[in-house]
Amino acid sequence: MASTSASTSEIVAKLNLNPHPEGGFFSETFRDTSVILSKSQLQPRYKVDRPVSTSIYFLLPSGSVSHLHRIPCAEPGIFIWENLLQYGQTMT
């Protein structure tokens, strides 16, 4: 049985992803209600308090580039590479 890769637009729609300013697409799936750093303790570029942790979906389409960066909280992510997903696979 031949398999067909899901397109970027299908994955973006299925997971309700938004463009990420540094490339790719993302969606926050969890935000801890506990705060580790208040915005007064952070650099001015941070506009809100930082939670203890968040979790995201992140999609980097084939041929795209995203740069590594550090954030001031734990952020486990589910990273999705477009060419690895196939129709029939569960995306939860």
pTM of the model: 0.62
Q: Which two tokens stand for residue 37?
A: 């750093």
User: Hey, where are the domains in the chain?
Assistant: 8-84
pLDDT band at residue 1, thresholds of 50, 70 and 90? very low
36-85: per-residue pLDDT in tens?
A: 777 777 777 777 777 878 888 888 887 777 766 666 555 556 566 554 45
Q: Which two tokens stand for residue 72?
A: 């001031």
Q: Residue 67 carries which side chain, given as an amino acid letter?
A: H
Query: What's the CA gap between 42 and 24, in Å, rounded?
Result: 26
Residue 4, judged by CB atoms within 10 A of its CB (0-12, 13-18, 19+), counts as exposed
Work out whether strand 77-81 and strand 54-60 pair parallel, antiparallel, or are unpaired.
parallel
Q: Compute the half-sphere exposure of residue 34: CA atoms within 13 Å on the CB side of its CA.
A: 5
